[in-house]
Chains A and B, each alone.
Chain A
Amino acid sequence: MKENNENIATDGAVCQGNVLDDVTRGDYKYGFTSDIDTEIIPRGLTEDTVRFISERKGEPEWLLEFRLKAFRHWLGMTPPKWAHLDIPEIDFQSISYYAAPKTKEGPKSLDEVDPELIDTFNKLGIPLEEQKQLSGMAVDAVLDSVSVKTTHREKLAEMGVIFCSISEAVKDYPDLVRKYLGKVVSYRDNFYAALNSAVFSDGSFVYIPKGVRCPMELSTYFRINAAGTGQFERTLIVADDDAYVSYLEGCTAPQRDENQLHAAIVEIVVEDRAEVKYSTVQNWYAGDAEGRGGVYNFVTKRGLCRGDYSKLSWTQVETGSAITWKYPSCVLAGEGSVGEFYSVAVTRNRQQADTGTKMIHLGRNSRSTIVSKGISAGHSQNSYRGLVKVAPDADGCRNYTQCDSLLLSSHCGAHTFPYIDVLNDTAVVEHEATTSKISEDQLFYCNQRGIPTEEAVGLIVNGYAKEVMNKLPMEFAVEAQRLLAITLEGSVG
């Protein structure tokens, strides 16, 4: 076991070294735009826009009704103001709510996919040709509003696993989608959830049948390409009794001067003894050093651990976006259900993040763990906001929260807003928090051993975030380590 650990750790370091050789500055690698023939609808949002999107996607009546209810509800809402964020006024009428690459809907083979589009995903390191892929990972690629390709579907179908875009799921498995859509995150939940429910374009749908352990990692890769558009994807994951799935989400966007809105919803349902592991490496464009441009990442992610002894684990590495507003949460309804949240959030330059989780303990003996590692550099503001709630009937609940902040500059801010609401006196709730700076002594120690400062910062930061990084699936962990090191190059001071 020990030797094994040693090897894994070493492999990680190999990759880190190589990439740092290639990259000299912490620039955004994914800032390119692709020249893809795209259909974009005019800017603005009215009931007609909602109807247009629904019609364009050939949706059934019930879904249009769902959208319209959400839209009408949204009209009466205002954006939330409680976060520790300075959000400029957003003109929701100046955004285009639907952009799609011009191809036939749901291409059946790669030949039908625009070569420029395949090239785009290749540049991002996401090959859509199945034979070229890392074995053990199936990918759903979403560009702007539309899913362009889902790989390995046939192989997964043999085991009864459904992995497709949500648009296709609406057509092919309407009963399943209808049963679960909006059941974990209601359109009434919040302003951005209502907006998403009205105009959501695409996203992934996953269903793991009873007793099936999904044999490969499922992954959705989101890419915003078109200018002046928002991205509103919707993901729905259902793990039936005794099922298991590990799901990964990655995201990037071109470098643009304007701000782009990304308001997604992720809903997860976990039945008896099932387990879902959801990992995100969020690398939307963060804006430039002065804070121009970048993606507004306003996302609602929530899982319902409905089944007894069910388990949901969120792991997120947040390095991108100009502003992040995101609280992946667990509703622990089942007896003995388990919720986990592991987060690394990095902000630098003028980035702002207000992120954390909610653990709602409804079931008896439910347990939750929260490990949040914030890293702030430059003039950024980084907040952890978390709620631990224990319902009156939920006996024997247990929560452990660890919330650490690392400061890399003297102009940044790190804040924690923990809310603890315990209505049952058998609960044990723990909260630990630390704040630290990378010390000159640590850097000099590394320098003396021949490790240059930039690399030393990467090493120290990865060490600080290790507890969370270790939770990521192997393929992702290496990528995330690299990202963390590159993102922070030149950030100390």
Chain B
Amino acid sequence: MNDILLEVKNLHASVEGKEILKGINLTVRPGEVHAIMGPNGSGKSTLSEVLAGNPAFTVTEGSVDFHGKQLLELSPEDRSHEGLFLSFQYPVEIPGVSMVNFMRAAINAKRKYLCEEPLSATEFLKLMRQKRAIVELDNKLASRSVNEGFSGGEKKRNEIFQMAVLEPVLSILDETDSGLDIDALRIVAGGVNKLKTERNATIVITHYQRLLDYIRPDFVHVLYKGRIVRTGGPELALELEERGYDWIKEEVDAQ
């Protein structure tokens, strides 16, 4: 497996003049699951937003290769069309726009990008039904407005539902476990596992080991002060769970 899905090199990014990412290097291959952990304010969410192209952040240095394309040169929507998906930590509400209309716009925008005909209403509704089952999202939720009045757990399930519909090659799950009770966590993680294939990869951003009991990572990275300061296997997550982040902070700060 030499093919590389995502290669981040020396990525620096800032928001409102403040540098948050200070030289990130990360290589992700198809079929892999990477966990990114780290204390609050270390830049985890910024990394996901920058990769997805949020205009609020400015990239000041570095490059990102996404299966042969220069990711940073693409618009947010083209990054999506190329197969990048971000499950938001705080999914926004869009009043009056039904999930059905929203997903239809999303899927047909992608099909247009790939020079494919839009899906017919019947095909589309069939697809929605299939994908809904993956995260046990009922029909009522799918016909409601985007995230409006959803509980925390429903919002996260809805994110994974959208991921299922759009079939990305790289999914970034930003704190998908936050605000979930144990049942919702199981459903969400189960959905992510069902969507895993040889060809796609997942980056899981989380504070806690808990999620990683359900979604087994191949690599665990610790992000601190805008850099990846340690990389290991699943056992690193367990060690962090036991010892906290202080020992890593001390090691890094001592250097």
Q: Which residues of A contact B (CB under 8 A)?
A: 2-3, 5-7, 9-14, 17-18, 21, 439-442, 444-453, 455, 459-460, 462-467
The answer to whether A13 and B76 touch across the interface, beta carbons within 8 angstroms, is no
In the complex, how many angstroms separate the beta carbon of B77 from the nearest chain A beta carbon?
A: 5
The answer to whether B105 and A463 touch across the interface, beta carbons within 8 angstroms, is no
The answer to whether B162 and A9 touch across the interface, beta carbons within 8 angstroms, is no
7 contacts across the A-B interface (CB closer than 8 A): A7-B125, A11-B121, A12-B101, A440-B56, A448-B88, A450-B109, A452-B77
In the bound complex, how far is the Cα of B106 from the Cα of A14, in angstroms? 12
Q: Look across to chain A and name the residue whose beta carbon is closest to the beta carbon of B80.
A: A450
The answer to whether A460 and B97 touch across the interface, beta carbons within 8 angstroms, is yes
Residue A17 contacts which of B96, B118, B145 (CB distance < 8 angstroms)? B118
Residue B80 contacts which of A7, A439, A447, A463 (CB distance < 8 angstroms)? A447
Q: Which residues of A contact B53 (CB under 8 A)?
A: 447-448
The answer to whether A449 and B80 touch across the interface, beta carbons within 8 angstroms, is yes
Question: Known contacts being A14-B118, A439-B92, A464-B96, is A450 close to B139, with CB within 8 Å?
Answer: no
Q: Look across to chain A and name the residue whose beta carbon is closest to the beta carbon of B124.
A: A10
The answer to whether B104 and A10 touch across the interface, beta carbons within 8 angstroms, is yes
The answer to whether B94 and A9 touch across the interface, beta carbons within 8 angstroms, is no
Question: Known contacts being A10-B121, A460-B97, is A444 close to B106, with CB within 8 Å?
Answer: no
Give the A-B pair count, Cβ closer than 8 A. 119
In the bound complex, how far is the Cα of B108 from the Cα of A463, in angstroms? 18
5 closest cross-chain pairs (CB), A and B? A463-B96, A463-B97, A447-B76, A450-B80, A466-B96
Q: Which residues of A contact B106 (CB under 8 A)?
A: 446, 449-451
Q: Which residues of B contact A13 (CB under 8 A)?
A: 100-101, 104-105
The answer to whether A10 and B97 touch across the interface, beta carbons within 8 angstroms, is no
Q: Which residues of A contact B100 (CB under 8 A)?
A: 6, 9-10, 13
Q: Look across to chain A and name the residue whose beta carbon is closest to the beta carbon of B88.
A: A445
In the complex, how many angstroms separate the beta carbon of B30 from the nearest chain A beta carbon?
A: 21
Q: Which residues of A contact B81 (CB under 8 A)?
A: 450
Q: Look across to chain B and name the residue whose beta carbon is closest to the beta carbon of A441.
A: B92
The answer to whether A463 and B121 touch across the interface, beta carbons within 8 angstroms, is no
The answer to whether B105 and A464 touch across the interface, beta carbons within 8 angstroms, is no
The answer to whether B108 and A17 touch across the interface, beta carbons within 8 angstroms, is yes
Q: DSSP class of A's interface residues: helix, strand, loop or mixed?
A: helix
Question: Known contacts being A13-B104, A459-B97, is A442 close to B92, with CB within 8 Å?
Answer: yes
The answer to whether A463 and B145 touch across the interface, beta carbons within 8 angstroms, is yes
Question: Known contacts being A2-B143, A9-B101, A17-B105, is A463 close to B52, with CB within 8 Å?
Answer: no
Q: Which residues of A contact B209 (CB under 8 A)?
A: none
In the bound complex, how far is the Cα of B62 from the Cα of A71, in angstroms? 76
Q: Which residues of A contact B103 (CB under 8 A)?
A: 449
In the bound complex, how far is the Cα of B98 from the Cα of A463, in angstroms? 8
Q: Look across to chain B and name the residue whose beta carbon is closest to the beta carbon of A438.
A: B94
Q: Look across to chain A and name the residue whose beta carbon is closest to the beta carbon of B84.
A: A448
Q: Look across to chain B and name the residue whose beta carbon is closest to the beta carbon of A466.
A: B96
Which of B56, B91, B97, B113: most chain A Cβ within 10 A? B97
Tell me if B26 counts as interface (CB < 8 A to partner A).
no
In the bound complex, how far is the Cα of B118 from the Cα of A466, in angstroms? 24
Question: Known contacts being A6-B125, A17-B105, is A463 close to B143, with CB within 8 Å?
Answer: no
In the complex, how many angstroms separate the beta carbon of B138 from the nearest chain A beta carbon?
A: 10
Question: Known contacts being A2-B143, A463-B96, is A448 close to B52, with CB within 8 Å?
Answer: yes
Which of A6, A7, A460, A465: most chain B Cβ within 10 A? A6
Residue A463 contacts which of B77, B94, B118, B142 (CB distance < 8 angstroms)? B94
Q: Which residues of B contact A440 (CB under 8 A)?
A: 55-56
Question: Known contacts being A10-B121, A450-B110, is A459 close to B56, with CB within 8 Å?
Answer: no
Q: Look across to chain B and name the residue whose beta carbon is closest to the beta carbon of A449.
A: B106
Tell me if B27 counts as interface (CB < 8 A to partner A).
no
Q: Look across to chain B and name the residue whose beta carbon is closest to the beta carbon of A11.
A: B121
Q: Which residues of B contact A11 (CB under 8 A)?
A: 121
In the bound complex, how far is the Cα of B118 from the Cα of A18, in angstroms? 9
Q: Which residues of B contact A449 (CB under 8 A)?
A: 80, 102-103, 106, 162, 166
Q: Look across to chain B and name the residue whose beta carbon is closest to the beta carbon of A5.
A: B143
Q: Look across to chain B and name the residue whose beta carbon is closest to the beta carbon of A21.
A: B112
Which of B53, B103, B108, B118: most chain A Cβ within 10 A? B108
Question: Known contacts being A7-B121, A13-B101, A444-B76, is A460 close to B166, with CB within 8 Å?
Answer: no
Q: Which residues of A contact B197 (CB under 8 A)?
A: none
Tell me if B86 counts as interface (CB < 8 A to partner A).
yes
In the bound complex, how far is the Cα of B56 from the Cα of A466, in angstroms? 30
In the complex, how many angstroms separate the beta carbon of B178 from the nearest chain A beta carbon?
A: 17
> In residues 107-142 of chain B, which contact A (Cβ within 8 Å)?
107-110, 112-113, 118, 121, 124-125, 139-140, 142
Q: Look across to chain A and name the residue whose beta carbon is closest to the beta carbon of B93.
A: A442
The answer to whether B77 and A450 touch across the interface, beta carbons within 8 angstroms, is yes
Tell me if B60 counts as interface (CB < 8 A to partner A).
no
The answer to whether B97 and A6 touch across the interface, beta carbons within 8 angstroms, is no
Q: Look across to chain B and name the residue whose beta carbon is closest to the beta carbon of A16.
A: B105
